[in-house]
Structure 1
């Protein structure tokens, strides 16, 4: 799958153009501990916004007049029409006077209610928005390469914010400002980043914020309704809704300058996500964060920023919260590793090209030339799927690996380890 990263958007919304965007990350060395391979891609498909259909002309809406039958008949018809109009006018006037009312009063003349009587039903998008909006920020980034916007999630009252690495990576050599829901602004400093997971924690010099409530993503069912909130194309506080379209979707997204090896084990959603939504929350209908919006797929191959086609991807909160805790406390994150170097094989799976000496795979008896086809109950169809599956676990987790080799299929138990990134 070819995907695009909706990071910092331009400052002004653009007129609708072709639905295309910059290519996703070009790194070709996934590390599941995990190294070189060719990126798994699909060809681009170009799609244009449809041209507006012209309104039919007035002439086309009027039928051709019939042939004239005679002046006298036509004149009588006109007289009859005038008489009918006059008669109708008199009757209407008399009826108005007898009725004693003013029929010219319209809805525009009525007084407005004291306040809106609309209430947010339990579990509605409106109620979710009211709960979550105070915890979402717009991040304005000014760097040597220009300016743009992304989104972030408040995780503490004193200014800690969780976002994407690709939103703030340029801010290390520039300036980052947070715009909060109550219209306060504050400068932001980068606390820690992890390009491999595309996550970052930053700190704003401010207090009295509303932290978001975090949920869980491991048992989130496909088809569950969700809400996305962020700053698409600089439009802060934008709320969209949809469902969880798929889970455990291996997505290769762009890292720093498109060179980082960023493979996400993503939640897929059809909620509208656009450039500038990156780093914002994907929440369930209880208003709990279940994902960090990070990437979109867009057909086309141009350089312009493309918009949503209903294929958005978010980092599951189970993985994001674990990494965010490390970033906040230590400034860096530990990468979960299997200890293999992989590439594409002759059939679906991840072909082991090399095994790291002393690593988890070697200790479990995995050898070069074998094909990994399954992690626990999850099928591994290509190398990125293995990378995504391994990174979805924490160091110390024990997994069952299914391997296809010259002696047939076998399974081994592997205890994953961690490596500081």
Structure 2
């Protein structure tokens, strides 16, 4: 073989080797390309679109998830409340809950200037003739109250009445045929049930948020700041977002019915941090219609001092039960005393409805009026018994209490202290003795004009506070503190 043939064979071998190598790489190493097919018809896709039906209760969305229907039903009945405040500088500090609600409800007072300014909140139309439920702290001390409806109509509102013990108030505007909100059944609302909060947070009108009921009959001690002995806290706890301006707004179920009035939040900052609290609608309904019909809440009392049963208490008192309401004391002449309740009884039900704590008992009793009879189920010495109790008011009778500015107790007539007097005496609260007849007050040396500011170190801010303090002290002595109009402070001991 000559040199030329050898050279040609080498070139041909190299060429064939390269072809074989490239072909082998393509077959063995390089992945095969596969065309992707994207369906456009949607057939076979388990996810489908769902339409909302707005004008019927025949839900297309599953009934338990239809927020749209509830929002559409309820939102027109939620109003925006604007308030203005005028008065002397001392008046700006008269509300003992102000420090808390200043962050929650909004800056309506400036502590540095000590001068009232403006506030804002929410309310719920509860009747077609213009009655509106809201929080007491939304309108407390306001010189003017303006109501802005969902359709932008504006009205001046009349304050019908307030109840600081439940933080509720009732307003009235002069209008007819308004869209209003029906009351729902807050007693039977379930933990885990969906609810909507509707109000005007941060001036964002008609804002709707959703959450679930997190707990019921929750006592958060917010009204304890007022020093009242007759406060009632049995809040519905939810995780629906509530912020400053939502006060007095609606908590509704998915039928668009009112189940609560949004009142407070648990927050380290003053803005929503996870939980909000609403006064249950059954209690709202009772309180606001009392205010409408009588101008004052008809407050039924059993006349007992109570506390929650705990494991420690059950062990110490050998109760044999871990839930219920422990009776620490029964006051003389009260409903409980007449019914035969005794100290160390454990109340477990009111009218057949289980009560596991003080908040639940207070709520069930408060739904009644003085003169109503209730069934009290309790445990004594390991035995369960039921008695009927006729409820009495703070004056230990069953008469209707009106919105009169004066009350008579054991020969003395009392009335609230005017703002002018508070300013002059530099006090934040008190009840004044206007007329003095024969009785324990006169015997103790008290003169007319005396302003009672404390009884047994407890602030006296209202007639409810006064009567509650006296009822709790029945059979014992009390220490009365106060001041006369000339600024002279005085202390009296009275055997009650």
Tell me which interval the TM-score lies in, with the shorter structure as reference length: 0.5 to 0.7
Verify the 8 A CA contact 1:252 1:384 in the aligned structure 2: no
Per-residue CA deviation, residues 289-319 of structure 1 (Å, 9 max, x unaligned), is: 1111122222x3xxx6x12233222222122
In the alignment, does 2:78 pair up with 1:136? Answer: yes
Match of 1:155 among 122, 126, 131: 126
Distance of aligned partners of 1:312 and 1:397 in 2 relative to their CA distance in 1, 3 Å threshold: farther
Q: Which residue of 2 aligns with 1:125?
A: 67
Verify the 8 A CA contact 1:252 1:263 in the aligned structure 2: no
**Structure 1 residue 202, shift from structure 2 partner:** 0.7
Q: Which residue of 1 aligns with 2:205?
A: 236
In the alignment, does 2:230 pair up with 1:254? Answer: no
SS of 2:234's equivalent in the other structure is strand
**Structure 1 residue 350, shift from structure 2 partner:** 4.5
Verify the 8 A CA contact 1:268 1:312 in the aligned structure 2: yes
TM-score, normalised on structure 2?
Answer: 0.54
**Structure 1 residue 418, shift from structure 2 partner:** 4.4
Distance of aligned partners of 1:380 and 1:258 in 2 relative to their CA distance in 1, 3 Å threshold: same
Q: Which residue of 2 aligns with 1:48?
A: none
Match of 1:265 among 234, 241, 248: 234
**Structure 1 residue 352, shift from structure 2 partner:** 3.3
Quick one: distance in 1 between partners of 2:345 and 2:365? 17
Q: Which residue of 1 aligns with 2:339?
A: 364
Verify the 8 A CA contact 1:337 1:416 in the aligned structure 2: no
Per-residue CA deviation, residues 116-140 of structure 1 (Å, 9 max, x unaligned), is: x974463522222222111110111
Distance of aligned partners of 1:418 and 1:282 in 2 relative to their CA distance in 1, 3 Å threshold: farther
SS of 2:221's equivalent in the other structure is strand
Verify the 8 A CA contact 1:250 1:388 in the aligned structure 2: no
User: Mapping of 1:47-126 within 5 angstroms?
Assistant: 119-120=52-53, 122=59, 123=63, 124-126=66-68
User: Mapping of 1:171-250 within 5 angstroms?
Assistant: 171=142, 174-250=143-219
Quick one: distance in 2 between partners of 1:205 and 1:339? 40
Distance of aligned partners of 1:220 and 1:370 in 2 relative to their CA distance in 1, 3 Å threshold: closer
Quick one: distance in 1 between partners of 2:392 and 2:254? 34
Q: Which residue of 2 aligns with 1:313?
A: 277
Number of aligned residues: 294
Verify the 8 A CA contact 2:80 2:122 in the aligned structure 1: yes
Match of 1:325 among 266, 289, 298: 289
For structure 2, the residue ranges without an aligned partner over 5 or more in a row are 1-49, 87-91, 93-108, 110-117, 315-321, 394-400, 402-463, 465-496
Quick one: distance in 1 between partners of 2:349 and 2:131? 38
**Structure 1 residue 244, shift from structure 2 partner:** 1.8
**Structure 1 residue 157, shift from structure 2 partner:** 2.9
For structure 1, the residue ranges without an aligned partner over 5 or more in a row are 1-116
Moved over 6 A (4+): none
SS of 2:202's equivalent in the other structure is helix
Per-residue CA deviation, residues 84-138 of structure 1 (Å, 9 max, x unaligned), is: xxxxxxxxxxxxxxxxxxxxxxxxxxxxxxxxx9744635222222221111101
